[in-house]
Amino acid sequence: MLKDITLGQYFPGNTVAHRLDPRTKILLVVLYITALFCAGSFAAYGLMAAVLAVCVRVSRVGLRALVKGLKPVLFIIVFTGLLNLLFTPGEGILWAWGPFHVTETGLRNAAFMVLRIMLLIMGTFLMTYTTSPISLTDGLERLLSGLKRFHVPVHELTMIMSIALRFIPTLIEETDKIMSAQKARGADFESGNLMEKARALVPILVPLFISAFRRADELATAMECRCYHGGEGRTKLHVLQYQRRDYAALTLGVLILAGVIALRACGL
Amino acid sequence: MSDMIETESLRFAYPADEGQKPVYALRGVDLTIEKGSFVVVLGHNGSGKSTLAKTFNAVLLPAGGKVYVEGMDTLDQSLLLAIRQRVGMVFQNPDNQIVANVVEEDVAFAPENLGVPTEEIRRRVDDALKAVGMDEFVTHAPHLLSGGQKQRIAIAGVIAMEPDCVVLDEATAMLDPVGRREVLSTVHRLNREKGITVILITHHMDEAEEADRVIVMNDGRVELDGTPAEVFRQVTRLRRLGLTVPDTVDLLDRLRREGLEVPLDALSVEDCAAAIAETVRS
Amino acid sequence: MNTILQVERLTHTYSVGTPFQRSAVEDISFAVERGEFLGIIGHTGSGKSTLIQHLNGLLRPTAGRVLLEGKDIWAEPKKIRNVRFQVGLVFQYPEYQLFEETVYKDIAFGPKNQGKTGDALDHAVREAARLVGLRDEHLDKSPFELSGGQKRRVALAGVLAMEPKVLVLDEPTAGLDPAGRENLMANIRDFHRNQGTTILLVSHSMDEIARNANRILVLKSARILMSGTPAEVFARGEELLAAGLDVPQITRVAMALRDRGLPVDPAVYTVEGLEAQLLALKRGGGPC
């Protein structure tokens, strides 16, 4: 069922991970991703995995929910893994068959690649699980507010993002409903070749688009009725303010990145 | 006596296809809505009732005539925000008017737009949620609430502007009976306790029973205008307009035709039963 | 008795094994006779929607069975589509499922899936359009040019064109104005009378159910609270009110009259019925 998609889902809670300023969390994720791309040894990946494990523990988000988040990208993980495993040239061929060959470097690369993607996704998901979409976009708006000087419509972009997030569950539910309605008229989404399957989507996509446009139109009117007139002069219910814990967390993040870079410099 | 909304020979036409004559949805409406009143606007689909509602806060602008909100002309662009802050609007589909995915953030949307200071927003959000009986749901996700609850959030979102008038544009049409009752009792309470003028657009006749005034629209004009008792007494006329009358009035009407001396304006179940009991016994 | 549809100890549990686990339908059994007009009533969340999606195999029971003409619909899961052609399900606000360029093509979607072609297809489409009161000139129009009420008729025709033996209607009149509601219900009544198709009508409106159904099923919190003829069900008006459900306004008037000591039958639920009783009382006869 479509309802099982956890993308962008937020698990309310009151742990430190939840209470951190969203800007801090976005910056931490940037540091974390940078560190992942700098990591080049099992020691470094071990460190990153440990960091993630601690964060997961602190956030009290179940590991199961995080692993579930990997499901939609499982194909990509396996695919990249196999690609690296079977096609990396190098010394020490362990196994070969036709164009495929497994080398020591390949094995290493594949393991790193899979680890990197998995850690990357789980880390990012941990942020979305512990940060409500609205404070996430809020944080993003504040972080990027400097760009307004260069006429980047930061407020509009973040507004688009938060509305998109708000309507994901509604549109998923709608898709489910339309699918059921067309199935009730004998639509078949499972059998047939790729072309037939693509054509079977028309009865879902057309009503879905029409409904999305209608919703957009009505929402725009409703927003105007509530005095929306762009970002100018807007105030906020929740004003973001860095706390001591934010500075602490950011310092920790920078230290870990420095550690990973040091490990790389030491050739580890 | 002060007026909340006043219309003067108000006309409105939706843009027509090229080469076609525009179809007028409103063809000369003169109305005065008093402050603090509870007005129900009835009419079949296409009678112009929804169009009328949308001219009350300048979502639609008159093509002829005027609409004044507390004396402010809706055609005056510079008054737009002031008008919309005075007249809040709740629409039919609860899903399409909720902006945020946390209840309190959604209710805060309008005050944020109005530039209200943070502490004041907090107070308004809490008051508004209390006023609609949804204060337990401050941090909930709106898409998981029932239809009636979502509409109450939408009402709270409007109340947070501290308006003088709330217009509900078929806001009960998509709700189940429980949701409808929730929304109705909420707006009746707002009217009673906060003195907010309520204009309820609906095609459910029974929602008009407790109104101060019922306006029936037909073909872009006001067809009937009076107290619920005065309006519902016109059984044949209402039927001709494609509307039904409450079963209570239908029953009283039938009994009168059979020569029983019952009044036609005992709308509520209790009044109706009392009137019948008295006549049958006599 | 000729049973067409039978539900046996049906249970449906969502999100098994998670903290969100809950049964939307629990241990429900009932049978539907051929040609019957069955009303199903209950709150949002009472399990109505889940229940009806089992009748045409959109959902698979967690426990229990659904029998169509004596045969378990899940006996051959691969052939579940055939069940959907025999039990036509019209969802709430079905106009949102329209997608074709013309009304004709949209109505033809179901029968085409069924494998109908040529004259048989044309006949099915035109007959369905006629049954819901659409005229020939509507057929070549885009469904999106029509009014809300007409769109709904197109969607209804799209299901009728499959010539189902059982028609399940979920809130067919929701959101329509009184004239639109009455027109559509009159259409459905005519259809039921002339075609003899079995109809299951899900509605929030007690008045609508009271006026149309010959038997009523009341659901509450995933179970059947009561079932019987409208008179039997509405005679238990107090219970219905206690369960947070509506009773027809006329039944409430009758209850209020009894409170005032008038001997009217509590099972009355139509204006005509109560009128007749009151006239009889007034003219000196006893309660009828």
Please give the average per-residue pLDDT across C193-204, as a whole number.
Answer: 92
Query: What token pair was written down for C153?
Result: 């008729």
Closest-CA distance, C4 to chain B, in angstroms, reads 30
Contacts of C246 in chain B (CB under 8 A): 177
Q: What is the pLDDT of residue A255?
A: 94
CA A64 to chain centre: 16
d(CA C32, CA A12): 45
Please give the average per-residue pLDDT across A150-169, as a whole number.
Answer: 88
Q: Both ends of chain C: CA-CA distance in Å? A: 31
Range name among A25-34, A74-83, B110-119, C111-120 with the lowest pLDDT average: A74-83
**CB distance A225–B57 less than 8 Å?**
yes
Measured CB to CB, residues of chain B less than 8 Å from chain A are 57, 59, 81, 84-85, 88-89, 91, 93, 95-102, 104-105, 108-118, 121-122, 125, 139, 141, 143, 154, 157-158, 161
Q: What is the pLDDT of residue A8?
A: 56
**CB distance B109–A169 less than 8 Å?**
no
Interface test with B, best of C177, C252, C259 (most B CBs within 10 A): C177
Please give the average per-residue pLDDT across C96-103, as a whole number.
Answer: 93
This model of the complex carries an ipTM of: 0.91
**In chain A, % of residues over pLDDT 90:** 38
Please give the average per-residue pLDDT across C240-253, as a whole number.
Answer: 86
Top-ranked range on mean pLDDT: pick from A30-44, A93-107, B226-240, C53-67: C53-67
Higher-pLDDT residue of C148 and B184 is B184
- What are the tens digits of pLDDT across the range B19-47? 777 888 999 999 999 999 999 999 988 89
pLDDT of A69 above 80: no
Closest-CA distance, A137 to chain C, in angstroms, reads 28
Chain B residue with CA closest to A229: the answer is B113
Closest-CA distance, A236 to chain B, in angstroms, reads 5
**CB distance B44–C205 less than 8 Å?**
no
pLDDT of A45 above 80: yes
Parallel, antiparallel or unpaired: strands C198-202 and A100-103: unpaired
Secondary structure in 3-state letters for C217-238: EEEECCEEEEEECHHHHHCCHH
Q: What is the pLDDT of residue C142?
A: 93
Judge whether B252 lies within some domain: no
Contacts of A188 in chain C (CB under 8 A): 81, 113
pLDDT of A169 above 90: no
Residues in contact with A64: Cβ distance below 8 Å, sequence separation at least 6, in sequence order:
none
Tokens 């790729």 appear where? A194
Contacts of A10 in chain B (CB under 8 A): 101, 141
**CB distance C85–A186 less than 8 Å?**
yes
Of the partner residues A162, A227, A238, the one whose CB lies closest to the CB of residue B84 = A227
A160–B contact, CB cutoff 8 A? no
A177–C contact, CB cutoff 8 A? yes
pLDDT of A163 above 60: yes
Banded model confidence at residue B133, pLDDT cuts 50, 70, 90: very high
Banded model confidence at residue C287, pLDDT cuts 50, 70, 90: very low
Chain C residue with CA closest to B248: the answer is C250
**CB distance A222–B96 less than 8 Å?**
yes
Mean pLDDT, rounded, of chain A: 87
A:192-231 residues touching chain B, CB 8 A cutoff:
214-215, 218-219, 221-229
Query: What token pair was written down for A160?
Result: 């688009």
- Name the 3-class secondary structure at A93: strand
- What are the tens digits of pLDDT across the range B45-56? 889 999 999 999
Query: What token pair was written down for A73?
Result: 């990208």
Banded model confidence at residue C285, pLDDT cuts 50, 70, 90: low
Range name among A110-124, C116-130, C274-288 with the lowest pLDDT average: C274-288
Mean pLDDT, rounded, of chain B: 92
Judge whether B19 lies within some domain: yes
**Adjacent-strand bridge partners of C31:** C6
Top-ranked range on mean pLDDT: pick from A49-58, A107-116, A127-136, B150-159: B150-159
Judge whether B268 lies within some domain: no
**CB distance B177–C281 less than 8 Å?**
no
pLDDT of A5 above 70: no
d(CA C89, CA C102): 22
pTM score over 0.80: yes
Please give the average per-residue pLDDT across A92-104, as a whole number.
Answer: 78
Half-sphere exposure of A5 (CA within 13 A, CB side): 15
Contacts of B258 in chain C (CB under 8 A): 275, 279
Residue B184's domain spans which residues?
3-245
**In chain A, % of residues over pLDDT 70:** 97
- What are the tens digits of pLDDT across the range C3-28? 999 999 999 998 776 667 788 999 99
Banded model confidence at residue C112, pLDDT cuts 50, 70, 90: very high
**CB distance B96–A219 less than 8 Å?**
yes
pLDDT of C288 above 70: no
pLDDT of A134 above 90: no
d(CA B223, CA B220): 9
Return the percent helix, strand and coil in chain A, to nearest 5: 75, 5, 25
Please give the average per-residue pLDDT across A22-45, as a whole number.
Answer: 92
Q: What is the pLDDT of residue C286?
A: 47
Q: What is the pLDDT of residue B29?
A: 96
Total structural domains within chain B: 1
d(CA C172, CA C180): 11
Query: What token pair was written down for B243?
Result: 């509307």
Contacts of B102 in chain A (CB under 8 A): 132, 134
- What are the tens digits of pLDDT across the range C22-51? 889 999 999 999 999 999 998 888 889 999
Q: What is the pLDDT of residue A268?
A: 63
Domain ranges of chain A: 1-131+241-268, 133-234
**CB distance A207–C96 less than 8 Å?**
yes
**CB distance C175–B174 less than 8 Å?**
yes
**In chain C, % of residues over pLDDT 90:** 66
- The string over C251-276, giving b where at least 16 C-beta atoms fall within 10 Å of a residue's C-beta and e elsewhere, is bbbbbbbbeeebebebbbbbbebbbe
Interface test with B, best of C93, C142, C208, C282 (most B CBs within 10 A): C282
Chain C residue with CA closest to B240: the answer is C179
pLDDT of C1 above 90: no
Written as one string, the DSSP assignment of B30-67 is: EEEEETT-EEEEE--TTSSHHHHHHHTTTSS--SEEEE
Range name among A213-227, C126-140, C153-167, C240-254 with the lowest pLDDT average: C240-254
Of the partner residues B243, B246, B281, the one whose CB lies closest to the CB of residue C249 = B246
Q: What is the pLDDT of residue B111?
A: 96
Chain B residue with CA closest to A228: the answer is B113
- What are the tens digits of pLDDT across the range B241-279? 888 888 899 999 999 999 888 988 888 899 999 999 988
Chain A residue with CA closest to C94: the answer is A181
Of the partner residues B96, B104, B115, the one whose CB lies closest to the CB of residue A218 = B96
Q: Residue B181 sits in a domain of what CATH number?
A: 3.40.50.300
- Name the 3-class secondary structure at A83: helix
